[in-house]
Amino acid sequence: MWNMFVSYLPDWTVFLQALIVVSIPYVLSRIMSMTKNAADSNIKQDDQEANPQRDFSGKLDNDLDRMRTEFGDQADLNIRTFCLGNTNQQAAILFVNGISDRDLIDKHILKSLMVDLALVGHERGRDASSPPFTKQYLKNNVLSVGVVKEVDRFTDLSSELLRGHTALLLDNSNGSVIILGTRKEITRSAGEPSSEILVRGPRLGFNESICDNTTLLRQHGEKTNLTITQLRVGQRVTKELAIVYIKDIADENLVQEVRERVERMNLDDIQDTGYIEQLIEDNYLSPFPQVQSTERLDRVISALMEGRVAILLDGTPFVLTVPTTFNMLLQSPEDYYERWIPGTLVRMLRYFAAFVSTFGPSLYISFISFHQGLIPTKLALSIADTRAGVPFPSLIEVLIMEIALEILREAGLRLPKPIGQTIGIVGGLVIGEAAVQAGIVSPLMVIVVAVTAISSFAIPQYNAGIALRILRFIAMIFAATFGLYGVVLFFLLLCSHLSKLISFGVPYISPAVPYRLQDWKDFLVRAPFKLMKHRPKMMNTKDPLRRK
């Protein structure tokens, strides 16, 4: 059998040799074709880079017809054709009603191109037979507008028009369009932020205009080294975004990391900085906010002075500061406006309120259900007497009141302001009293829930309060399952999660972990300003000293 197989082997070898010989020309031809296509592609790309194709022909009538076709039936798009000065040279401007400044267009564009140019031309003897005006001449000698640039792509033109700018087209031009800055700003005045009220301190906050917000930072912050980097975000609806930092304080690696994360965002429309916060945070599964959001100007300036980076977005008054640590969420600017002793007392009170807001109901459940022996005798008898007619276990009792309270809180936020305050206060009192009278919950339970709710109101940052409210329900389940041991277990799991959490390379619970004694001067306590000579060491700033 083997001999037979070997006897056939030469025939197969000859067949393979013939197949290879036949295939060589085809393979060579394919290689040459691919090489030629690659070379042609490179040449074509080089030609396009050297001589980019323009979307505009330079003929005014053709370009206007194409724009009408591309834009379609847009009622707010204005197209105004006219002649330059006292010549026959045709021109046209395009702008969108409402978002463009009509007074600026009438007084500084149309008047300059039609009236002033005619007077200059008459003095210089220009008439219809004179050479046409060039774009360079119009930009340098006629147009009295701050922003003047040229675009040669239709997509760029449409983007500029929708931002409120005006497009100027000339007949027999070189195929580009002049863009004139005529954006009309519709903003509200900078007033006191409604979400972050202070007893003592500045009453100035941001508004929805990124131009106004950067101006506020320039006026009230560091002026020499304050660096503002402008970007455009959004695929379909583009908006201006600014990355702000102090050049001689902030770490360059931090600034670069922030810029890279912002540039990686890929959404059609970014309505608020809340979108940005969710796209650039390190751990999206954590309930804790890893980016601080604020409307207060003084809070942002203080963060910049510590070496942090601020992110501003056009259309929203909320500014992001990164990196963020947990202790920043429990601090208020008012801590620094008062003397260090009351500032320290109030800050420590907030930490206690955060603990009560998270673990108050769970401790009640664990003591009532599992560890009655740890309660003093007289108090235990009083609690047993008030719970005699309650038909539900402690977990169900707490859930009824907590869920009712959360619904009232949400209803108070969504209703008109005068009605919302009434619903929140009166509704809680009525429901609590009715529940006690009906024997559904005990009076002590109502007190525990009320203290927990009041403690959650002491958290300065709203999103931090939401995180603690979520964790409160998880802690209640642990307490109902394992008792006080479950509360301790949940606390350890929470500490483990916080110790692993990072915000832009900075540990979330720094300076507690890793331990930095120098930064404890502005952690649980607020030390006197005479002792706070250094910036936070965790920020790795270029200039570590606050004052020399």
Same domain as 503, residue 433: yes
pLDDT exceeds cutoff 60 at 18: no
Domain membership of residue 536 (yes or no) is: no
Full DSSP string of 78-134? EEEEEESTTS--EEEEEEETTTB-HHHHIIIIIHIIIIIHHHHHHHTT--TTSPPPP
Residues 6+ apart with CB under 8 A from 114: 82, 83, 84, 85
For helices 443-457 and 340-369, the axis angle rounded to 10 degrees is 150
Cα–Cα distance measured from residue 84 to residue 521, given in angstroms and rounded to the nearest whole number: 68
Banded pLDDT at 479 (limits 50, 70, 90): very high
Same domain as 234, residue 150: no
Same domain as 157, residue 72: yes
Same domain as 73, residue 41: no
pLDDT exceeds cutoff 90 at 119: no
pLDDT tens digit string along 249-264?
A: 998 999 999 999 999 9
The predicted structure's pLDDT at residue 37: 52
Same domain as 480, residue 441: yes
pLDDT exceeds cutoff 50 at 12: no
The two structure tokens encoding residue 8: 């056939």
Q: What is the percent of the chain with per-residue pLDDT over 70, rounded to a whole number?
A: 85
Cβ–Cβ contacts within 10 Å for residue 47, how many?
Answer: 11
Closest CA to 318 of 424, 136, 194: 194
Which H/E stretch holds residue 150? strand 148-151
Domain boundary among 163, 180, 197: 180
pLDDT tens digit string along 204-263?
A: 888 888 888 888 888 887 777 889 999 988 888 888 899 999 988 998 999 999 999 999
Domain membership of residue 190 (yes or no) is: no
Query: What's 537's DSSP letter?
Result: G
Same domain as 498, residue 459: yes
Cα–Cα distance measured from residue 399 to residue 405, given in angstroms and rounded to the nearest whole number: 10
Domain membership of residue 356 (yes or no) is: yes
Same domain as 484, residue 378: yes
Q: Do the strands 148-151 and 77-83 form a parallel or antiparallel pair, or are they unpaired?
A: unpaired
The predicted structure's pLDDT at residue 46: 44
Biggest CA–CA distance in the chain, Å, is: 111
What are the C-alpha distances in Å from 245 to residues 322, 333, 504? Answer: 10, 19, 15
- Total count of domains within the chain: 4
Q: Which residues pair with 232 in a beta bridge?
A: 240
Cα–Cα distance measured from residue 537 to residue 480, given in angstroms and rounded to the nearest whole number: 42
Domain of 23 in residue numbering reads as: 1-51
Cα–Cα distance measured from residue 212 to residue 227, given in angstroms and rounded to the nearest whole number: 16
Same domain as 375, residue 479: yes
What does pLDDT average to over the chain? 81
Domain membership of residue 527 (yes or no) is: no
The predicted structure's pLDDT at residue 121: 59
Domain membership of residue 330 (yes or no) is: no
pTM: 0.77
Asked if residues 376 and 464 have their Cβ atoms less than 8 Å apart, the reply is no
Asked if residues 408 and 431 have their Cβ atoms less than 8 Å apart, the reply is yes
Same domain as 402, residue 500: yes
Residues 6+ apart with CB under 8 A from 151: 157, 160, 176, 177, 179
Same domain as 241, residue 109: no
The two structure tokens encoding residue 10: 């030469």
Q: What is the percent of the chain with per-residue pLDDT over 90, rounded to a whole number?
A: 22
Same domain as 90, residue 47: no
Closest CA to 173 of 118, 130, 124, 136: 136
110-140 b/e with 16+ CB inside 10 Å = b? Answer: eebbeeebbeebeeeebeeeeeebebeebbe
> E-strand spans in 186-238?
226-233
At residue 525, what is the residue type?
A: V
At residue 142, what is the residue type?
A: V
Same domain as 410, residue 505: yes
Domain membership of residue 547 (yes or no) is: no
Domain membership of residue 533 (yes or no) is: no
